[in-house]
Amino acid sequence: MLNYLPLQENVAPGAPIALLPLEQKPGPEKRLRIRCEVVSVKDSRGLRVRGLFDGRLNRNRDCELFLADGVVDRESNESFEVEMKLATLTAYANPKRIRAKILLSVVDANDNPPRFEYDEQSPVREQYLTAIPDSTPIDQTVFKVRATDADSGPYGEIEYSITGDRLAREYFAIDARTGEIKTTKSFESISNGDLPLEVIVLVRDNPENTAGGGSNSQRTMLVVNLLRKGDGLVLTISNTPPEVMREKKAELTKLLQEQTGLAVSVDHITASLRPHAGNGTCCRVHYSDTDVYFHATDPNTNQILSYDSPKLQR
């Protein structure tokens, strides 16, 4: 006989999980020893689990399955198949009816907060960094944040919003569903003292909370620098045409970051422009060489480094 039962995720140790009533049970006066045993437990992948569940005879002398030790986590196991057995003198038990199988289906709890995903290669930890031209118009997507949540259904659904600093909320809006951040104001009148802009992004799970379960949230920061003339750097790479360099963009970014300890972002890759030899007038295109335009940010101050910054001259 197979019994299907729900099992709440994170159930407390010792709490009863399933009750298997015994028929024609002898009264306590008979002093008959009956034990209620767990024979085997398999997880959702069919692997044997030991020690998690145990059986006992409760006060009414019915068989009870309980959580013995450990944690029930839906995110690592969605179901368990438990086989139980009644151990007593064979004369008192019908051998055909002393075993039972229980299929436990783990009911999700909202026990995972959403987590932001970051670029692991960036020297900036646990926050986002971007730089956009100071001429960026309104309604332009400038960045996309991403978070994930390990729970299922509404407990795994997430919603983004911008919170905190009023200034950041003046310039940016976020798509609650996709995490895309757009400009809502031009940067013409912003003063240098307000830079970089620090956008606090909040992500929340179970946004409707219709089924209860509460809401978990996490926040992070997107640092936005404005690129002005003189902020960009050009690196000329000889004997490598731009199409080859474009394929190596990620590799080059990684190398520059490792060498400088700065957060580096490559803005533009193009054929090399150099003044004409001899008269020095501008410019001749060299298709076999590449100019890489990039900018660099100090991960300690979040400030864009300008061309003459001492850190870039190492």
Q: Which residues bind Ca ion (CB under 5 A)?
A: 74, 108-112, 149, 151, 155, 205
| Least Å from the CB of residue 180 to Ca ion | 22
As given in the structure block, the two tokens for residue 26 are: 């002898």
Whole-number Å distance between alpha carbons of 240 and 276: 20
Nearer to Ca ion, 141 or 148 (CB): 148
If the CB atoms of residues 81 and 111 are measured against Ca ion, the closer one turns out to be 111
Length of the chain: 314
The 172-174 sheet, strands edge to edge:
141-144, 180-183, 172-174
CB of 54 to Ca ion, least distance (A): 24
38: alpha, beta or left, given left = phi > 0 and alpha = psi -120 to 50? beta
C-alpha 103: how far from chain center: 31
Closest contact distance (angstroms) between CB of 306 and Ca ion is 43
Q: How far is the CB of 155 from Ca ion (least distance, A)?
A: 4
C-beta of 37 vs 111, nearer to Ca ion: 111
Q: Which is nearer to Ca ion, 147 or 197 (CB)?
A: 147
Q: 253: Cβ–Cβ under 8 A, 6 or more apart, which residues?
A: 121, 264, 265, 266, 294
Sequence-distant (≥ 6) Cβ neighbours of residue 240 within 8 angstroms: 288, 289, 290
- Residue (of 64, 54, 65) closest to 22 by Cα position: 64
Question: Is the Cβ of residue 107 or residue 312 nearer to Ca ion in the bound state?
Answer: 107
- Minimum distance of Ca ion from residue 50's CB (angstroms): 23
> Least distance to Ca ion from the beta carbon of 209, Å?
11
Residue whose token pair is 């930890």: 125
For Ca ion, which is the closer residue by CB, 111 or 165?
111
